[in-house]
Structure 1
Amino acid sequence: MEKVKEFLKLDKEAEQTVSRLTVPPHRVGYERSFYNEFGLRGLRVDRVEPGFVSCTFKVPPRLTDKNGNLATGAIANIVDEVGGAAVFVIGLPMKVSVDMSISLLGTAKLDDELEITSKALGQRGSYSGTIVHVRNKATGELIAEGRHSLFGEQSSKL
């Protein structure tokens, strides 16, 4: 247990960064949550069609690691959110993620503009599958490819 505590202990620089974060209380239904403000701010939806979503995103400093690369957790968050949007049905609750597999194929640096596309692969019962591509918009380099499985209510056939 002591090894885990030591591993999770923040260094002075990280401790100072965390101490500067302001997390106002969230009023459900009235404002964006800390999660939305921190993880999704700057994500711009460019195109939405049934089973397809296209977005752009400029890599901000708050989502980079100590080497200046887009953090892998931020990439997972993008795959989760944009993948889920491709199978969202108005009037039904959002589906929940049950599995994600992400291949990290390149790196994105601070201020890189990314193009994110998500396509529904299909649905069987209450399960849906999507594929998400994260590309550097300027170079076309594939940064990540994610396969995403979701579960949720399906629309009525009546």
Structure 2
Amino acid sequence: MDTAREFLENITAGELADRVSQLRFAPHKPHAEPSFYEYSILRGVRVDSVRLDSTLYCSFTVPARLTDITGKLSAGAIASLVDEIGAAAIHKCGKPMGVSVDMSISYISDAKMNDELVITSRCLGQRGNYHGTGVLIRNRTTGEIVAQGRHSLFSLPATASKL
């Protein structure tokens, strides 16, 4: 830790900019492979069933990588699950993948590392290209609701662009 601190204290802004400019990352191929973000959040989520009304039922065991310093599932991880699994419900409705417009999340109780969660996501409705989903995260053992979210997405029609 001290070595890292010394390195950061002794490096100039110009040296840091030079080093950062030398970093190379392969570009992400959307819809062809998961991004690092999607892989980190969704790794471990199992889809248990999908109903005809496009309701997704998923299971998830809370991993250490998504917990905060107190060992509880972090609020950011919950928001990411609402975002990703809400979008999956829209995709299951046969709509193109959308862009998140709005999310509202009620954090109701805690989930700890290794807790088994049940995540239910369903399409709430659509007006034009604007879609709404509801996501409920519940502790499988206790039955307590961990979080409840509403997620709105906007999707472009699945037609070719005229640009």
Provide TM-score, normalisation by structure 2: 0.74
CA contact 2:118–2:138 (8 Å) conserved in 1: yes
CA contact 1:26–1:33 (8 Å) conserved in 2: no
Unaligned runs of at least 5 residues, structure 2: 6-24
| In 2, Cα distance between equivalents of 1:36 and 1:121 | 23
> Bigger CA drift: 89-98 or 35-44?
89-98
Aligned to 1:150: 153
Moved beyond 3 Å, runs of 4+: 24-27, 29-32, 89-93
Aligned to 2:49: 47
Q: Secondary structure at the match of 2:112?
A: coil
When the two chains are superposed, the root-mean-square deviation of aligned CA atoms in Å is 2.5
Q: Deviations over 1:105-144 (max 9, x none)?
A: 0000000010000111111111111111000011110000
> Bigger CA drift: 147-156 or 27-36?
27-36
CA contact 1:98–1:150 (8 Å) conserved in 2: yes
Cα shift at 1:47: 1.2
Q: Secondary structure at the match of 2:85?
A: helix
Q: Secondary structure at the match of 2:81?
A: helix
Unaligned runs of at least 5 residues, structure 1: 1-11, 17-23
> Bigger CA drift: 32-41 or 87-96?
87-96
State the identity as a percent.
52
| In 2, Cα distance between equivalents of 1:133 and 1:38 | 20
Mark the structure with the bigger radius of gyration: 2
Q: Secondary structure at the match of 1:94?
A: coil
2:96 to 88, 93, 96: 93
